[in-house]
Chains A and B, each alone.
Chain A
């Protein structure tokens, strides 16, 4: 569903798709979702285009504005800033990584507990998978510690699936 926007008397309103009722400076459009794209544009409702490469995790957006050259509403993007230091962000990222690993290992902890209880061997594939999780954590922790940009820390994928 494309994001749309309209300028009514100098105030730009952004919609997630076409609203049922569209308030325009030329009138109120009831059942606007039945209108064609051309009719919507004639009413003043146009697409909202995000800047190329925009990532909400690491970019901030300007106020929305009208791009007359392309007949769309758009924004400019700027680098997001963080109050935490790079080291603090790495520490938090690694903490989250280990939390993920803990959750992942918890799924198969019962195999290990059973082995302790009654000596039933842990299946080889489970042992391999648990070792892989621990190896992945070690690898990712090293990679995180090697990062030099805050944005890179934010974007670093700590998914273990």
Chain B
């Protein structure tokens, strides 16, 4: 008989440890060019060498990703991103947290910068 639900015999409550999470929740990846694939990492890093326009892919509702960006160039977020607060400062590291509230249609961003 096929299993239709995960029972306590298979997976106990409160039993999913950090080690069991997939890479998309636990790893940091450098953004090679400008593509941010939400299914590949939790944290994305980049030092801007030129004005850069980010593109997002595999965005699902409820995902929250962290971008750690530095560099004194312009960083363009997709039109689907609404900035809640914060100002990017290229002279220090910036934490840009993206929360997807409607898949690829709508995400919200807060920008925090490293204290100096």
Contact = CB atoms under 8 A, between A and B. Distances in A.
A148 to B, nearest CB: 53
Interface residues of B, number: 20
B73 interface: yes
Interface stretch (A20-28, A61-69, A97-105, A130-138): A20-28
Interface residues of A, number: 16
A30 interface: yes
A30 B83 CA distance: 10
Given A35-B74, A39-B51, A39-B74, A28 B81 contact: yes
B91 to A, nearest CB: 10
A30 B88 contact: yes
A95 interface: no
A27 B76 contact: yes
Contacts of B75: 29-31
Given A21-B88, A35-B51, A30 B74 contact: yes
A123 B111 CA distance: 66
B79 A26 contact: yes
Contact of B88 (A24, A27, A31): A31
Contacts of B78: 27
Interface string A14-42: 00000011011111111110110001000
Given A20-B87, A39-B74, A30 B111 contact: yes
Contacts of A31: 72-75, 88-90
Nearest to A28: B77
A27 B74 contact: no
Given A21-B83, A21-B87, A28-B83, A34 B51 contact: yes
- The A interface, classified by DSSP as helix, strand, loop or mixed, is mixed
B61 interface: no
B73 to A, nearest CB: 5
Contacts of A20: 87-88
Give the residue among B72, B74, B75, B79 with the most A Cβ atoms within 10 A: B74
Interface string A36-52: 00010001000000000
A34 B88 CA distance: 11
Contacts of A30: 74-77, 87-88, 96, 111
Interface in A41-99: 43
B102 interface: no
